[in-house]
Amino acid sequence: MQRVDFFGLDRPIQERFVAAARGTAPPLPLAVDSEVLPRSAALCLSGAALCLVALGVFARVGYAKLDSSLALQPPSALVVYLALGVAAGVLLAIAWRIQRERSRWPFSPAVYAFPSAVVDARSLSMRVHSLRDLADVSARGATLIITFSDGASFRFRATDPARAADLARNVNELRQRFGPDVAPVSARELAVWDPLADNGFANPFSPRERMKQPKAGMSWLALPIAALVLALLSAGVWSLRNHLGEKALYAAARKADTRAAYQAYLERGGSNPDVSKLLLPRAELREVEARNSIDELEQFVKAHAGLAIDVEAQSALLKQLLAALDEAKRAGTLKALKQFRTRFAGHPHIQGEITRAISARTEAGLARFAERAHPKPDVLDAFRRLLAYSAEHEGVVQVRCKRRLPDSVAKTEELLSKAHWFGGKASLPGQYFDSKHASVREQALEKQIIDALAQGFDEDLIKFEAGPAIDDNTDEDPKVSVPSIVVIHRTEMSGAYLMKRPRAALTGVGVLFRVGIMIPGQGSLHNFKYSVWNSPDIKSMMEGRGFEEIYGDMADKAFSKLAKKYLSDVAPGLAPKTP
């Protein structure tokens, strides 16, 4: 193998090689393996491609991933983009410069198979392999393969396998002509086959100076220009990547549609205002709703009052309040509804529903009372008002008594004490109608009324209980602080019943009753009046009964009759059956 510097050759040889390489003058090449791109340029282009691929791979790092800190790459990542872009630009510029310089050569860079030698003209320092050094030549399909003794091997693509075989035969024939065992050919004959041989002829019209290697010119500017352009493009890629990445990140957050996803979107630098103003609060609202905690939902509503999510939050709260109200309704008690109303008194949107639920409960209770007690319309109306009051206050109705001993008692005792058969101090009747004796009868009366009316109402609607006696010796209606059924009774005494044996002066006793259903601040809703007059049982007195028994029996009969008459009037369906 021989190295030949093209620009070191004489001008005639240079022109002869150029003409032969172009195929415009003999010797014509048998085959040509053109090199579109030199290895150095190919390596530069490969390096540039790797840089661009790396840039693309880096651009994909964290793209649209909510859990990646590089979902939106920070400005510091721009350094990587610029470094890869500049490197790609420099490598592209070098490849362009190499190719540009080769394009200015007087011949095309290629491997030429001439009749005398294979010339590797892919660089200006050409390598010439003489056929004298040929080791093997063969055709494989449409490819001609020429191998030399120094190991160099060249492949030439023919148009078809037949052409490749013809070329192989030609080269073998030429090999015999220029083989080492053949006598050397003359310089004139060699010039016919060898484009680098001097044939002694010089074109009188050509310059005598050797061709000179073209100068690079301004190609050195390609490096900074390419670096700048690729740097700008890389910065643009970074900007575009983040612009598209923000949209992709938003799409990923929307697809997940969770609080964590939207928080990650904002933490990664997402800037869509819908996320912070609406989507994130909406996702938080769903999580709060899923926990079924009205307290948390109330806090959420307060925290987002006046914001875009306010209406949805209010609606969600109302929905849960209605669900809680349904649960309170299922408890089936007025107490549960009242507790619910107290708990959520600060929510005006639910108050109407609560009022209707309470009204439905009281109306159902009133209907039950009407079905069981068969009251008169005015009594039913009175208990309706009691239930309405109970719905707003504690549902307790006290049964209380107010007693009165008028002046007629003292006058009667004075008259009896002057009678001839006056039985002494023990016979005076007033002492048997004092508070000590009256409270026993009152308690029995209150129990009868409570036991009867309690059958008409569930205890959570109205609870009847005995209240303290009213100490007021007047006929006026008392002032009450809780709903009450007040029994006002006045004991009157009149007449004288005289006995010789045993010695006694007795009187008749009458009890006037007035029973009123009262509500604080509303006075009496219903009044029932009844009076009883009893004469002393002279016969039992004669049989040995004492004054306390005689007068006690008279009072007991009056109270017993009142209980039956009152209950038969206000709640005939609940009144004890007379035996």
DSSP string, 362-418: HHHHHHHHHHHH---HHHHHHHHHHHHHHHHS--EEEEEEEEE--HHHHHHHHHHHT
pLDDT at 447: 95
Over 90: is that where the pLDDT of 511 sits?
yes
pLDDT at 420: 81
Chain segment 398-456, per-residue pLDDT in tens: 999 999 888 888 899 889 888 888 888 988 999 999 889 999 999 999 999 999 999 99
Helix then strand then coil, in percent of the chain rounded to 5, is 55, 15, 30
455 DSSP 8-state letter: G
Nearest partner of 567 among 511, 488, 510, 487, judged by Cα: 487
Chain segment 49-87, per-residue pLDDT in tens: 999 999 899 888 988 888 888 888 888 888 998 898 888
**DSSP H helical segments within 257-293, as ranges?**
259-267, 273-274, 280-290
Tokens of 390: 């109970």
Over 70: is that where the pLDDT of 168 sits?
yes
Nearest partner of 375 among 313, 317, 300, 455, judged by Cα: 455
Average predicted confidence (pLDDT) for the chain: 87
Cβ count near 330 (within 10 Å): 9
pLDDT at 63: 87
Band of the pLDDT at 179, cuts 50, 70, 90? Answer: low
Alpha carbon distance, N-terminus to C-terminus of the chain: 147
Band of the pLDDT at 305, cuts 50, 70, 90? Answer: confident
Share of the chain above pLDDT 90, in %: 36
CA distance 506 to 29: 167
Cβ count near 563 (within 10 Å): 21
Would residue 402 be called left, alpha or beta, if left means φ above 0 and alpha means ψ between -120 and 50 degrees? Answer: beta
Chain segment 441-496, per-residue pLDDT in tens: 999 999 999 999 999 999 889 999 999 999 877 778 888 999 999 999 999 998 88
pLDDT at 396: 94
Domains of the chain: 1-35+111-206 (2.30.29.30), 48-108+233-269 (no CATH), 272-373 (no CATH), 397-570 (3.30.160)
pLDDT at 473: 73
